[in-house]
């Protein structure tokens, strides 16, 4: 379980599915990364 830095539901749960992440989990992580990059860009 990883936590993100924004308010609300900040968790991204990565579960092992035979050595791989599930497709929807990958989408969640990519969305979290994009959101974090957008926030960091706003502060620059």
Question: Given this model, what pLDDT does residue 7 score?
Answer: 64
Question: Given this model, what pLDDT does residue 22 score?
Answer: 86
Question: Given this model, what pLDDT does residue 33 score?
Answer: 85
CA angle 5, 20, 13 (to 5 degrees): 30
Q: pLDDT of 1-44, one tens digit each? A: 555 555 666 677 777 888 888 888 888 888 888 888 888 886 65
Question: Given this model, what pLDDT does residue 12 score?
Answer: 72
- Confirm if 13 and 26 have CB atoms less than 8 A apart: no
| Beta strand extents in 1-44 (DSSP E only) | 2-3, 11-12
**Cα–Cα distance for residue pair 17/8, rounded to 1 Å:** 27
Question: Given this model, what pLDDT does residue 10 score?
Answer: 65
Q: Output the CA torsion sign for 33, 34, 37, 39.
A: negative
Question: Given this model, what pLDDT does residue 16 score?
Answer: 82
């Amino acid at each position: 379980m990883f936590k993100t830095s924004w308010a609300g539901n900040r968790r991204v749960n990565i579960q092992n599915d035979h050595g791989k992440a599930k497709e929807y989990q990958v989408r969640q992580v990519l969305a979290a990364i994009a959101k974090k990059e957008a926030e960091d860009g706003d502060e620059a």
